[in-house]
Structure 1
């Protein structure tokens, strides 16, 4: 399971580099931070249950943040 967090770190790094190349600096910074956290978690050797709980917590926060941003910050087109 620890390898999966390193794989997530790799893909978030790829997304961050593409965003940085596309001049989306805030987006790239967000993904660079996620990359650092995923690589750190990938080398801490927690139990599988701990990794699953952290992943689901991350997913809940990500979906709540995405929903908040898309509804309240972007607004509804008229």
Structure 2
């Protein structure tokens, strides 16, 4: 399971580099931070249950943040 967090770190790094090349600095900074966190967690050797709880916590925060951003920050297009 720890290896999967390192794989997540790799893919967030790829997304960060592509967004940086596309001049989206805020998005690339967010994904560089996620890369560092995922790679760090990948080397801490927690139990599988701990890794699953951290991943579901991450997914919950990501979905709530995305929903908040799309509803309240982006606003109504009409």
Q: 2:60 & 2:6 partners in 1: Cα distance? A: 20
Q: Tell me which residue corresponds to 2:6.
A: 6
Cα shift readout 1:51-73 (whole Å, capped 9, x = no counterpart):
00000000000000000000000
Report the count of equivalent residues.
Answer: 78
CA positional deviation for 1:76: 1.2
Question: TM-score, length-normalised on structure 1?
Answer: 0.99
CA positional deviation for 1:32: 0.1
- List structure 1 runs of 4+ shifted beyond 6 angstroms: none
User: Any unmatched runs of 5+ in structure 1?
Assistant: none
User: Any unmatched runs of 5+ in structure 2?
Assistant: none
Cα RMSD for the two superposed structures: 0.2
Question: TM-score, length-normalised on structure 2?
Answer: 0.99
Q: Tell me which residue corresponds to 2:19.
A: 19
Q: Tell me which residue corresponds to 2:63.
A: 63
